[in-house]
Structure 1
């Protein structure tokens, strides 16, 4: 994609030198994660609250992994109540997504994996439930664990990023953290109070908690 197309999708236009500082910020985050984790790890990215730009950070952190041509990234939209990745990336999700896979025991995972137009970066969108509302129990199901195990083991060079729901207000993010190796918390710069950030961080296992990213793009 051209820098203009990348910017339209809220993706850091890494071909545009004018954005080098932003690109380097994500490269630094990626390098820190690689330093504290084993190969082929699963990262959960969650905002403190709605509107912090957690999906923006998840998308571009996944992208930053693909700067290394020996690595690939898979982004999974796990914010089932407010999915946004397919909208931001302008992807037609006619084949369904994560929820459809979890609800249909006969479905296969391959059709749920979409190209993004960016080399080595794939997306599994949230999809839409056939039963109306979606529940946290989707993430505690055996099928969800099987999916992540399968996605991780299929490609040794694949890094998985889960775009999660807000840490405050529901148990979904905490439940998802049990499936991840690393948790990154996103706070909206000037939006979240220190008390909110501390409360959100306290939801996660400190052994998995990598730290807080302050996002000015919220």
Structure 2
């Protein structure tokens, strides 16, 4: 596996120029974008507004409401599973979708599981232009080039891109901070959801927590024990830790 390319630090003026360039028009819906039908969304394991009587839709609406009540303004939320198979990507995708249900808000889902990315495949999106890894490795890359329409109104995706064994160097880079800063400055109505790798096994989740405002831990119901959940939760600052979501899905 190749390592991330080194990127020099920027002075204040260069940082402002890069932030302005990368944030401009980044979350704008592409002309002619087609909304997915309810059956297509179900095929992608994604909730939709029409499924008002389904308990999973109500559950994600409730999660969204609790987050909005606990946080001031827009935020960057890290969603991480306790272990592989706990369903962290499922929760991250649908929590971001629930946020986009509100027409006054938008959501950006970022696949940060560089070892085992899944969001682009699940959403059936052609990401031939690259993703997060390509943006972070290329100091001249445009953020808008790696933001994709999902077919869900108000929801965009940055896929992981080329797989990498470890993400710590990427997530601690200035380019990652620039990405989030660009979105915050140019799109004040946008909520960012980082789909992180499992807590157990690598330090990546802990590093991502440093750049997030709030952390949501996903435990597989009947899969993760109370002890492993407690061990995973101990990795995060209490002030950022929103709680545990028990997931019975995928």
Instruction: Return the TM-score normalized by structure 1.
Output: 0.96
Could you tell me how far apart the structure 2 residues matched to 1:163 and 1:175 are?
A: 13
Could you tell me how far apart the structure 2 residues matched to 1:201 and 1:40 are?
A: 23
Where structure 2 has 5 or more consecutive residues not aligned to the other structure, the ranges are 1-35
Where structure 1 has 5 or more consecutive residues not aligned to the other structure, the ranges are none
**Given the alignment of the two structures, is residue 149 of structure 1 paired with residue 181 of structure 2, yes or no?**
yes
Paired residues for 1:185-204 under 5 Å: 185-204=217-236
The count of residues paired between Structure 1 and Structure 2 equals 215
Could you tell me how far apart the structure 1 residues matched to 2:83 and 2:166 are?
A: 19
2:68 is aligned to: 34
Q: Which runs of 4+ in 1 moved over 4 A?
A: none
For the 8 Å contact 1:77–1:126, the answer to whether it is kept is: yes
Q: CA RMSD in A?
A: 1.1
1:208 is aligned to: 240
**Given the alignment of the two structures, is residue 128 of structure 1 paired with residue 156 of structure 2, yes or no?**
no
Deviation, structure 1 residue 168? 1.0
Aligned partner of 1:58 among 84, 88, 92: 92
2:78 is aligned to: 44
Q: Which has the larger radius of gyration?
A: 2
Post-superposition Cα deviations, 1:166-202, rounded to whole Å, max 9, x if no partner, equal 0111100000000000000000000000000000000
Could you tell me how far apart the structure 1 residues matched to 2:149 and 2:136 are?
A: 20
Post-superposition Cα deviations, 1:68-105, rounded to whole Å, max 9, x if no partner, equal 11000000000000000000000000110000000011
Post-superposition Cα deviations, 1:124-173, rounded to whole Å, max 9, x if no partner, equal 000116xx644411111111111111112111110000000001111000
**Given the alignment of the two structures, is residue 85 of structure 1 paired with residue 119 of structure 2, yes or no?**
yes
1:16 is aligned to: 51
Instruction: Return the TM-score normalized by structure 2.
Output: 0.84
Could you tell me how far apart the structure 1 residues matched to 2:72 and 2:129 are?
A: 33
**Given the alignment of the two structures, is residue 161 of structure 1 paired with residue 193 of structure 2, yes or no?**
yes
Quickly say closer, same or farther: Cα 1:59–1:176, change in 2 above 3 A: same
